[in-house]
Amino acid sequence: MSPHVLILGGTTEARELAAELTSHPGIRVTTSLAGRVVRPGPVAGEVRVGGFGGVRGLAGWLRAEGVCAVVDATHPFAETITAHAARAAELTGLPLVVLRRPGWQPGPGDRWHPVPSLDAAAGLLPRLGRRVLLTTGRLGLGAFAHLTELHFVVRSVEPPEPPMPPHTRALLARGPFTLADETALLREHGIDVLVTKDSGGAATSAKLTAARELGLPVVLVRRPPLPPGVTAVPDVATARARLHTVLPE
Ligand SMILES: NC(=O)c1ccc[n+]([C@@H]2O[C@H](COP(=O)([O-])OP(=O)(O)OC[C@H]3O[C@@H](n4cnc5c(N)ncnc54)[C@H](OP(=O)(O)O)[C@@H]3O)[C@@H](O)[C@H]2O)c1
């Protein structure tokens, strides 16, 4: 029977790893998606969609499907599934590889304000600007709902969900975004402050360069910590190498 790898997905890196692993005959790869995005892009190998039903559900699925290794390649802010993966790997005794693209690093000219949460970002905003580009995702906008004097442009893949601030304009778009597009967007909407999660990666980093070039402040929501004792690898090649004990080269 082919060795079976479960990739917890929803990121570019997860898709790249699935493509890499399925290019080797004799490896069975299943990518799991939460099912939040209506039309996810194509993924190589098998795909399953929807929650597992907590740690027990995930552990049960791993046993039932004869999985030999778990790769958690979820988004750096997908804290719950990451905790569940760590616990389920412990319960089943399976190797776990956590793949996390590195966070963004500030450079000269950046005016970044790192904060620990969306609430902290909301607390800081009135001191920094009046017209906000918010790219923290379609959920969690309730943290900003009391900011009735500020104007928000919310950019997300799926429509934003209430509660949200009264002056909100939704822009539906999926990266990657170019520097020219991001600069034009900031100018067109008269944006004077940007709020983003520290997602990392190249696909959505142009907004940071655009903000720097326009001299705009950026409120950067820091990543949640990994579960105790869990460390991450930064790229697909390292994740692949870590799987060498359970997979053919
Ligand atoms: N959070 C973000 O900013 C963000 C951004 C881009 C993409 N994503 C992707 O979107 C998905 C959901 O993110 P989230 O922040 O809502 O997750 P989360 O809060 O960590 O997870 C909530 C629940 O959703 C289910 N779930 C999450 N990811 C799953 C997956 N890959 N496969 C199967 N079930 C999954 C699990 O349900 P059960 O307990 O029932 O198993 C989990 O307990 C993830 O796959 C993530 O990679 C998230």
Distance CA 10, CA 33 (A): 6
Q: pLDDT, tens digit, for every residue of 62-104? A: 999 999 999 999 999 999 999 999 999 999 999 999 999 999 9
Q: Is the pLDDT of residue 1 over 90?
A: no
Q: Is the pLDDT of residue 175 over 80?
A: yes
Number of Cβ within 10 Å of residue 162's Cβ equals 8
What is residue 161's predicted lDDT score, i.e. its pLDDT? 94
Q: pLDDT, tens digit, for every residue of 130-141? A: 999 999 999 999
Regarding pTM above 0.85, the answer is yes
What is residue 23's predicted lDDT score, i.e. its pLDDT? 94
Closest CA to 202 of 182, 239, 177: 177
Quick one: pLDDT band at residue 245, thresholds 50, 70, 90? confident
Buried b (16+ CB within 10 A) or exposed e, 204-223: bbbbbebbbeeebbbbbbeb
Quick one: pLDDT band at residue 41, thresholds 50, 70, 90? confident
Ligand 1 binding pocket (C-beta < 6 A) is: 8-11, 32-34, 36, 51-54, 57-58, 74-75, 77-81, 84, 137
Q: Is the pLDDT of residue 249 over 70?
A: no
Mutation probe of ligand 1 site: the residue of 81, 141, 158 with most atoms within 8 A of C-beta: 81
Closest CA to 77 of 18, 124, 135: 135
